[in-house]
Structure 1
Amino acid sequence: MAGGTSIWISSEAKTDPREIFNLRLLYLLVAVAWGGSFYGFDTGNIGGILTLPSFKNAFGLNDVSQAEQDNRKGTIASMLAAGGSAGALLAAPTSDYIGRKWSVFGWGLIFVIGAAMQMVADYDVLLAGRFIAGMGVGASSMLTPQFLAENSPKSVRGSMTATYNLMIVTSLMLAFWVNYGVAKWSFPGVEYDDMQWRTAMGIQIIPGGLLCLMIPFVPETPRYLINHGKTEEGLKNICKLRKLPADHEYVQTEYREIMAQVRHEQEAFQGHNYWVVLKDVFSTRSNFQRFFLCIMLFLFHKFTGTDSLNYYAPEIFEMIGVKGGSTSLLTTGVYGVVKTVVSLLYVGYLVDRIGRRLPLLVGATLQGTSMLYLALYLRFAGASTSSPGNGTPAGGIVGIIFIYVYAFGWSFGHSVACYVVAAEVFPTRIRSFCMSICFFVNWIVDYGITRATPNMITEMGWGTFLLYAMLTYSGVIFIYFCLPEMKGRSMESMDDLFERPLWTMWKHAYPTEEEKVRRDVREDILTGKPPALDDSDKTHRVEHVETA
């Protein structure tokens, strides 16, 4: 249920108590995962909207030179990413100080405001709206995987966290088809009818409203509560989410692991301010290795060129010989369908059965190969081989197939892995800070690529795709040596894993049964040692946090 079909497939899920897969967990999953639709709709609709005659007329794109058109298109598309980088940074303090739950709610409201502003036919208001909505998208891109990972049973944590990405690609697909539908409108004066582009633009307000309506009824994450001294409330929420009593072995194991990690962190560093957290990240080898790994995963995630395809897919299809207008939008819509279907396969089957590592290696290799074909085709044949009367040339048809292969590889590779890994690999104490920096890098690189793509395609042509291919292949090498498998491990057991050098992770990629639980907690359970915190220690812990 909560993790799709993975519950019936994953060996870990089969041995879990059936009570933990309940309707409360499903409601939480649906409510929070709407955050993925922010990114999907806002990314998917703008590329097609930029090609609509009504949009060009409303914003004066027909009255400027090609260079100015490229600049304006790049600015409009990339303003979302600019806001996203700001939102990703601001999400960390809101997550740490007002909690995960109300941060998700607040940034959802900000997204709705920005989405509504984009409905105004004014260039400056459109840019401001895309920036404000981008802040909501960027914050949600950090908060949503974090919230899902912190509330998930470990056996379906990958599936639940990856649901955020499933919502991205599903919304991306729907946005592509909405664009195709409005592009087919045919009546006198359609090029002057603002309803055409506003219909495509306004669809994104729906998931924002649903998230804001549903979030108030989900519980705060137990890890946040326990990390901030609210141990009894944290244990209560574990029981509420798992539908098990406090003395159940499953609840006690999860509770003990969270408490052990909190105790270890607070013994090493006192306080939650960001100067202390910063020292914790850069002075502790285990933490720094995790931070470096996730930063590199997000960089290679963007270096595959996915943003160029998402934002400018219709124009890229035209480059390889697909006729313009609704035909290129139709081809783009099929591209979205491929992404969605493969993402369903990943979330429902691969992520909690095969894992994160192997699908990412295979998917990234497919992406690099697809980009390499596009580069070679445009270099040695190019769209010049096509003409209006002859349709798409044979090499262009193969190019379309390779773009769909790219979508296939992306959807069970880079599309999901960096989000899932970043959400599950960090200790609770530094998770918000590290994820915030990771997503800031994600969005600032997104901004640069999106802003530069129209100019890159005009100036570099085939070289754009060759660059993406080489960067993607470089990422495959890094992932092979440095990314361990997270499937089946508890979030707290990552401390033990990353005591090893990062470049040797390929030797320890797959966990043994003993490595799936934090070492000190496993030893306590084996020796029958009771929970470490009695009532007096709980009081001390609360006073300690409040004083810090």
Structure 2
Amino acid sequence: MRETAAPGTAAATAAPDRARRRHRRRAAGIAAVAALLVGYDMGVISGALLFIKPEFGLTPFESGVVVTTLLVGAVAGSALAGWLGQAIGRRGTLLVACALFVVSSLLMALAPDYGWLLAGRVLGGLAVGATQSTVPTYLAEIAPKRTRGRFTSANQLMIASGILLAAIVNYAFAQDLSWRWSLGLAALPAAAILVALLRQPETPRWLILKGRAREARAVLDSVLPADEAAQAFAELTTASEPAPGPAATGWRTLAGSRALRRILVVAVLFSMAQQLIGINSIVYYAPTILTQVGFGTSAALINTVGFGVLSVLMTLACGWAVDRAGRRPLLIGGGIVLGIAMLAVCAVFAFDLLDTPAGQYLTLGMLSIFKAGYSLTWGPVVWIVLPELFPLRARASGVSVATSAQILVTVLLTLYFPDLVAGSPTGIFLFFGLMGLATAIFVAKALPETSGKSLETLDRPGSPSPRP
């Protein structure tokens, strides 16, 4: 006769706990995979443009517009996500984003001319911005406090994986007409994620915000052990009690509170700093930089793929380290390492070490250290911390404002970096190096440690808050 564990024993509770763990990992995993589409859309256009330019007869300016329209659309998508996240929820916003990914991918793949291609890129940008703002919030709000950093780091892991996948697809479809396949391929995972999201829960924080306490408790019971679920529900209901005065959420909360405006300033500066240290400039133009110091074109491209693999591996390492070491130590140490790496590349140009073995390998080594350090620290940790800075009523709007500011910086750097590095490579790498060191000081002075605390604990008035 088969033996069964007595109720209340460890064996009896182990199976339900395993089921809850699988449920929250599945919900978080499906949401995180949406971020893979962000990386793919950002990365795939570089290879596709090689064949789009001659087919449509694009000028260099028009080619640049194809790249930047995604980012311009992403600014609007990120801002829209702040409103959608409050109105229809985090999951609802991701459903809209996935639908936009499907439409934009098919529109680009079937584009008969330049105008239709741009329309597809703008729609893709809306999806990228909405996803980039919403996935970290969804992950932070569905995860247990002790592993929230690991869960939320999956966002950056998927972005890095998407960029790497785009490089592989570009290589596989390296033919004149196959660019349509590489652009249209994203519709398949986008549709699959959309269907999978329909069966996943909304975050309990948003449900509480909308007065749906019973549904919130059901979600907590499905993803957390019973004692943790009860504690989390009690903290949530306490944190959601209305403050004196007229009720406000989202944009009105941000605008109407001096304390929240202060947090918003810190969050925007923090988010912009992630780009001002130079990451996207390095990602987009690494082959150009390597050829400038004497590497051949094929060697430069192979090294760029190596950077992609390194990025994925180090982002995985961040998932292990961020809840153990804390957010602040990783950000401070990362800022110092990134700053030193960029200053070393600056020295290669300043002391005219171009086309020398020392200059070539110093540049390759420092770019590798930069990419590894970024992927371990500033890449994922910014997206972990941003949702942790804002209280529940202003979280979606606050993260969307910070993300929009970051994407605007990305647009400007993407547009002007080629001219800057051609005109004064020493100056631009000096700027990136000094910005890296400045970010370490900024974090030490202005950013609280958020590791190991529940989101509701961080909302309390007595909790450490950002200092502008």
Distance across 1 between alignment mates of 2:417 and 2:62:
12
1:12 maps to: none
Distance of aligned partners of 1:275 and 1:142 in 2 relative to their CA distance in 1, 3 Å threshold = closer
1:179–1:329 Cα contact (<8 Å) kept: no
1:79/1:447 contact within 8 Å kept: no
Which residue of the partner structure matches residue 477 of structure 1? 441
CA distance in 1, matches of 2:433, 2:94: 36
**Cα 1:268–1:161 shift into 2, 3 Å:** farther
Question: Which residue of the partner structure matches residue 383 of structure 2?
Answer: 419
Match of 1:311 in 2: 284
Aligned residues: 452
Q: Distance in 2 between matches of 1:503 and 1:294?
A: 10
Partner of 2:86: 96
Return closer, same or farther for 1:313/1:117 CA change in 2, 3 Å cut-off: farther
Q: Does 1:270 align with 2:270?
A: no
Which residue does 1:540 correspond to in 2?
A: none
* 2:207 paired with 1:231: no
1:192-211 alignment runs, 5 A limit: 193-195=176-178, 197-211=179-193
Corresponding position: 1:78 with 2:68: yes
Matched, 1:299 2:272: yes
Q: CA deviation at 1:451?
A: 1.7
Offset, 1:298:
0.6
Q: C-alpha distance in 2, partners of 1:88/1:134?
A: 9
Partner of 1:128: 119
1:229 to partner: Cα distance: 1.1
How far apart in 1 are the matches of 2:423 and 2:91? 46
Give CA-to-partner distance per residue, 1:419-469, whole Å, 9 cap, x none.
Answer: 111122211111111111111111111111112222222333332222111
Partner Cα distance (2:300, 2:261) in 1: 45
- Is residue 341 from structure 1 mapped to residue 341 from structure 2 by the alignment? no
Q: Give the deviation of 1:44 after TM superposition.
A: 2.0
- Indicate how the Cα distance of structure 1 residues 362 and 47 shifts in structure 2: closer, same or farther if over 3 A, else same: farther
* Contact in 1 for aligned 2:106/2:184 (Cα 8 Å): yes
State the alpha-carbon separation in 1 of the partners of residues 373 and 46 from structure 2. 22
Q: Is the 8 A contact 2:217 2:233 kept in 1?
A: yes
Give the Cα separation in 1 of the matches to 2:24 and 2:465.
Answer: 36
Q: Is the 2:143–2:151 contact (alpha carbons within 8 Å) kept by the matching residues of 1? A: yes
Cα 1:500–1:157 change in 2 (3 A) is closer
Letter in 1 for 2:107: M
Name the amino acid aligned to 2:232: E
Confirm whether residue 250 of structure 1 aligns to residue 228 of structure 2: yes
The code of the aligned residue for 2:78 comes to: A
SS of the equivalent of 2:377 reads coil
Change (3 A) 1:44 1:228: same
When residues 103 and 501 of structure 1 are mapped into structure 2, their CA distance, relative to the original with a 3 A threshold, is: closer
Residue 46 of structure 1 contacts residue 311 of structure 1 at CA under 8 Å; is this kept in 2?
no
Q: Point out where structure 1 has 5 or more consecutive residues left out of the alignment.
A: 1-16, 184-189, 387-392, 505-548
Q: Look up the SS of the partner of 1:485 in the other structure.
A: coil
Aligned to 1:363: 334
CA gap 1:454/1:194 in 2 versus in 1, 3 angstroms? farther
**TM-aligned CA distance change 1:18 to 1:356, over 3 Å:** farther
The residue that corresponds to 1:489 in the other structure is: 453
After superposition, the Cα gap between the structure-2 partners of 1:462 and 1:55, relative to the gap in structure 1 and judged at 3 Å, is farther
Structure 1 residues 253 and 274: alpha-carbon distance in aligned structure 2, compared to 1, 3 A threshold:
closer
Alpha-carbon distance in 2 for matches of 1:498, 1:126: 51
Q: Residue 459 of structure 1: which of 410, 416, 423 is its match?
A: 423
Task: Say if 1:299 and 1:442, in contact at 8 Å, map to a contact too.
Answer: yes
CA positional deviation for 1:343: 0.6
- CA shift for structure 1 position 75: 2.1
Does the Cα contact within 8 Å between 2:239 and 2:460 map onto a contact in 1?
no
Q: 2:136·2:387 contact (CA, 8 Å) conserved in 1? A: yes
Greater displacement, 139-148 / 231-240: 231-240
Structure-1 separation of matches of 2:245 and 2:379:
35
C-alpha distance in 1 between matches for 2:271 and 2:291: 29
Match of 1:432 in 2: 396
Q: Is the 8 A contact 2:135 2:155 kept in 1?
A: yes
Partners of 2:422 and 2:104 in 1: how far apart? 31
Partner of 2:345: 374
Aligned-CA RMSD value: 2.2
Task: Specify whether residues 273 and 430 from structure 1 end up closer, same or farther in structure 2 by C-alpha distance, changes over 3 A only.
Answer: closer
Counterparts of 1:422 and 1:396, CA distance in 2: 37
Larger radius of gyration: 1
Out of 347, 364, 370, which is 1:406 matched to?
A: 370
Structure-2 separation of matches of 1:177 and 1:378: 31
2:168 to 177, 199, 223: 177
CA distance in 1, matches of 2:46, 2:66: 10
Partner of residue 168, structure 1? 159
Offset at 1:417? 1.5
The answer as to whether partners of 1:47 and 1:313 remain within 8 angstroms in 2 is no
Unaligned runs of 5+ residues in structure 2 are: 1-15
Question: Does residue 51 of structure 2 align to residue 57 of structure 1?
Answer: no
* Mapped partners of 2:375, 2:461: distance in 1: 27
Question: Does the CA contact (< 8 Å) of 2:24 and 2:223 recur in 1?
Answer: yes
Q: Does 1:218 align with 2:200?
A: yes
TM-score relative to the length of structure 1: 0.78
Query: What is the CA–CA distance in structure 2 between the aligned matches of 1:406 and 1:370, rounded to whole Å?
Result: 6
Normalised by the length of structure 2, the TM-score is: 0.90
Counterpart residue number, 1:7: none
C-alpha spacing 1:398/1:289, structure 2 compared with 1 (3 Å):
same
Contact 1:84 1:443 (C-alpha < 8 Å) held by counterparts: yes
Equivalents in 2 of 1:446, 1:206: separation in Å? 28
Cα deviation per residue 1:334-370 (whole Å; 9 max; x = unaligned)?
A: 01011111111111x1011112111122222221112
Q: What SS class does the counterpart of residue 412 from structure 2 fall into?
A: helix
CA distance in 1, matches of 2:303, 2:56: 26
Partner of 2:243: helix, strand, or coil?
A: helix
Q: How far apart, in 1, do the equivalents of 2:466 and 2:253 lie?
A: 21
Q: Check the 8 A contact 1:74/1:454 in 2, yes or no.
A: no
Q: Distance between the aligned counterparts of 1:74 and 1:112, measured in 2?
A: 23
Change (3 A) 1:367 1:46: farther
> Which of 420, 426, 446 matches 2:410?
446
Q: Which amino acid aligns with 2:444?
A: Y
Structure 1 CA distance, aligned partners of 2:318 and 2:57?
42
**Contact 1:356/1:417, CA 8 A, preserved across alignment:** yes
The more displaced of 330-339 and 368-377 is: 368-377
- Secondary structure of the residue aligned to 1:484 is coil
Give the Cα–Cα distance (whole angstroms) in 1 for the partners of residues 304 and 461 of structure 2.
42
